[in-house]
A and B are shown apart, each in its own frame.
Chain A
Amino acid sequence: MTSDAADQPVLVVEDLRTHFLVPAGAVKAVDGVSLSLQRGKTLGVVGESGSGKTVLARTIMGLNIAGNAVTTGSVKYGGKELVGRSSKEMKQLWGTEMAMVFQDPMTSLNPVVKIGRQLVEHVRVHLGASKAEARSIGTELLHSVKIPDADERFDVYPHEMSGGMRQRVCIAMALACSPDVLFADEPTTALDVTVQHQILNLLGSQQRNHNMAMMLVTHDIGVVAGRTDEIAVMYAGKIVEKAPTSALFNEMRHPYTEALLNSIPQTTKPKHTRLSAITGRPPDLINPPSGCSFAPRCPYARPKCHEEEPQLQAAGSSGHEFACHTPVGSPAAKEAFEANISEGLPQALVIAGHGIASEDDPTVWAS
Chain B
Amino acid sequence: MAGSGTAHLRPAGDALLRVEDLTVEFPVGRNRVVHAVSGISFDIVKGETLGLVGESGCGKSTTGRALIQLPRPTAGQVTLGGSDLTGLDEESMRILRTKAQMIFQDPISSLNPRRAVGEVVAEPMHVWGPADKNAQWEMVSSMLEAVGVDPDSARYKYPHEFSGGQCQRISIARALVLEPELIICDEPVSALDVSVQAQILNLLEDLKAQYGLTMVFIAHDLAVVKNISDRVAVMYLGKMCEYSESDDLYANPAHPYTQLLLDSLPIPDPGIQLQTDVTDDGELPSPINPPSGCRFRTRCDRADDVCVQLEPTMRRVSDDHFVACHHPLVAVEEASVQISSTSLIPGGEST
Contacts and interface: CB of A to CB of B under 8 A. Distances in A.
Interface of A: 48-49, 146, 162-165, 192-198, 200-201, 204-205, 219-223, 225-227, 245-246, 249, 259-261, 263-267, 269-278, 281, 356-360, 365, 367
Contact of B223 (A195, A198, A267, A274): A267
Contact of A276 (B193, B198, B276): B198
A225 B227 contact: no
A115 to B, nearest CB: 16
A309 to B, nearest CB: 22
A271 B229 contact: yes
B221 A275 contact: no
Contacts of A272: 205, 227-228
A225 B267 contact: yes
Contact of B265 (A49, A193, A227, A274): A193
Contacts of B163: 281, 359
A277 B198 contact: yes
Contacts of B165: 281, 359
A263 B71 CA distance: 36
15 contacts: A162-B283, A193-B55, A193-B221, A193-B222, A197-B264, A225-B270, A227-B274, A260-B195, A265-B227, A267-B262, A267-B267, A271-B228, A271-B246, A281-B163, A360-B148
Given A204-B276, A226-B273, 9 more contacts: A192-B56, A194-B260, A194-B264, A197-B263, A226-B270, A265-B221, A275-B201, A356-B202, A356-B203
A219 B194 contact: yes
Contacts of B74: none
Contacts of B193: 48-49, 219
A271 B247 contact: yes
Given A196-B264, A197-B263, A221-B268, A274 B205 contact: yes
Contacts of A201: 276, 278
**Interface hub of B197, B222, B270, B284 (most chain A Cβ within 10 A):** B270
Contact of A264 (B166, B169, B194): B194
B202 A275 contact: yes
B263 A266 contact: no
Closest 3 interchain pairs by CB? A222-B266, A197-B264, A277-B198
A184 to B, nearest CB: 14
B206 interface: yes
Contact of B266 (A49, A204, A225): A225
A260 B268 CA distance: 10
Nearest to B227: A265
B250 interface: yes
Given A192-B55, A204-B276, A225-B270, A275 B220 contact: no
Given A226-B274, A359-B163, A359-B199, A264 B206 contact: no
B332 to A, nearest CB: 23
Contact of A222 (B55, B206, B268): B268
Contacts of A164: 283
B333 interface: no
A49 B163 CA distance: 11
A194 B193 CA distance: 20
A201 B277 CA distance: 8
